[in-house]
Amino acid sequence: MSSNFSDSHVIRKPAVSSNGGIVASQHKLASQIGAQVLAEGGNAMDAAVTTAFAVSVLEPWMSGIGGGGHLMVHDAPNNTTHALDYGMISPLELDPAGYPLSGSGLSSDLFPWPEVVDDRNVLGPTAIAVPGQVDGMRVLLERFGTRSWEEVLAPAIALAEEGMQIDWFAALVIGTATPTLNRYPTSREIFLDDGFAPIPPWSPTTTLRKPFPKLAKTLRQLAKFGPREFYEGDLARSVVADIRKAGGCISLEDLRNYEAQLLEPLAVDYRGTSIRVNPELNAGPTLAEALAQLTQRLTPEAAPAGHTFTTLTEVLQEVYADRLERMGDVEGGRGGPSCTTHLCVIDKDGSMVSLTQTLLSIFGSKYVLPESGILMNNGMMWFNPEPGHPNS
């Protein structure tokens, strides 16, 4: 029987309270897996890492070990708050000349950049940036967690072996990406049925699943040899070989040099409340600027009025446009992924994690590595392909 229950339509947001902690994610089963970690004595950081790996198998179009992300962590026992940047970065051998503009207008994907010939910055191996997901989870677990690497990966391995459930929503998402998934043999093999989107069963007592045996093997390899296997071991060599054979330019040096960055968060004062946000290339500085603008342009009222919402809309549009225009590379090119899937965890002691992980576009580059079964990001799309801009 279906465990997703995605045929249930809830139009309100229920309030949840607990003395033992809460896990919130976009998939019920992933949240239950994280909650079980808390119930077994793990802290918020243990639960966040476990949930992050699990949700990347349950909704693979949004995130995975081929992607990256950002998070905020509050360590309650030490009363400290940290930002962690594990976003994708551009490869060292990248040649901007390999992304010529088509002259046919704007890209139809997430960002309003000029279109690139053959969508080389959006689709396929040439769109792949150096992934940071695995190292980000390493830093979070080593610095703040209590569980072993094998323990946090075990649920994701089991899910990959069992297979992703194909309900109506999964079929819909896969269906929207079918034309581009069909371009790449391994992607077609894993997600499609003879080149078509899978059709979910009509009966709630029948379940259709898509197993990920290659990904399960890769996750077991990570569990056995540790997170740096992705960046320095046999897995790293396999990842690089697959990408370069298909025309991408990520090198072993790119992976070996990658390290997630633990940063001091930005502290923003908003009407007497201190808000911590991620610094640098993500939505944190944009939110900080929005709050500063709202402080100047809105007077606190007992209840929101019509002009409250119009001002809020104007401010958000202005600061986002400013973000696209001004935000550029830092420290050699750490990229900032767009928000795709998000999860939050709080434990009984008050430690918290707010985590966003992504492949950037839905299904990222649409390219699954043939040997490891990893669906890769299209992080190169974050960069403006038109020369002369801060994030070109």
First to last CA, the chain: 49
| CA-closest candidate to residue 346, choices 70, 57, 72, 59 | 72
> Does the residue 272 lie in any domain?
no
> Does the residue 366 lie in any domain?
yes
- Residue 155 CA neighbour count, 13 Å, CB half: 23
- Per-residue pLDDT, 292: 86
Rounded to 5°, the CA angle 331-113-85 comes to 30
CB environment 339-373: b (16+ within 10 A), e (fewer): ebbbbbbbbeeebbbbbbbbbbbbbbbbbbbbbbb
Separation between Cα atoms, residue 181 and residue 191, nearest integer Å: 8
- Per-residue pLDDT, 135: 98
> Does the residue 322 lie in any domain?
no
- Per-residue pLDDT, 392: 67
Which backbone phi and psi does 70 adopt, to 5 degrees? Answer: -140, 155
| CA-closest candidate to residue 131, choices 43, 250, 267 | 250
> Does the residue 296 lie in any domain?
no
pLDDT per residue as tens digits for the range 273-321 = 888 888 877 777 888 888 888 888 888 777 788 888 998 899 888 888 8
> Does the residue 337 lie in any domain?
yes
* Counted domains in the chain: 1
- Structural domain including 365 reads 21-264+333-382
pLDDT per residue as tens digits for the range 178-232 = 999 999 999 999 999 999 999 998 877 788 999 999 999 999 999 999 999 999 9
- Per-residue pLDDT, 325: 66
> Does the residue 319 lie in any domain?
no
- Per-residue pLDDT, 366: 97
The stretches in the chain having pLDDT less than 70 are 1-10, 324-339, 390, 392
- Per-residue pLDDT, 331: 43
SS3 342: strand
- Per-residue pLDDT, 182: 97
Structure tokens at 316: 């958000």
Q: Is the dihedral of CA 89, 92, 93, 94 positive or negative?
A: positive
- Per-residue pLDDT, 13: 72
**DSSP code per residue over 89-127:** B--TT--GGGS-EEEEEE-SSSS-PEEEGGGTTTSSGGG
> Does the residue 102 lie in any domain?
yes
> Does the residue 211 lie in any domain?
yes
Separation between Cα atoms, residue 110 and residue 338, nearest integer Å: 8
Q: Count CB neighbours of 9 within 10 A.
A: 5
Which backbone phi and psi does 240 adopt, to 5 degrees? Answer: -65, -45
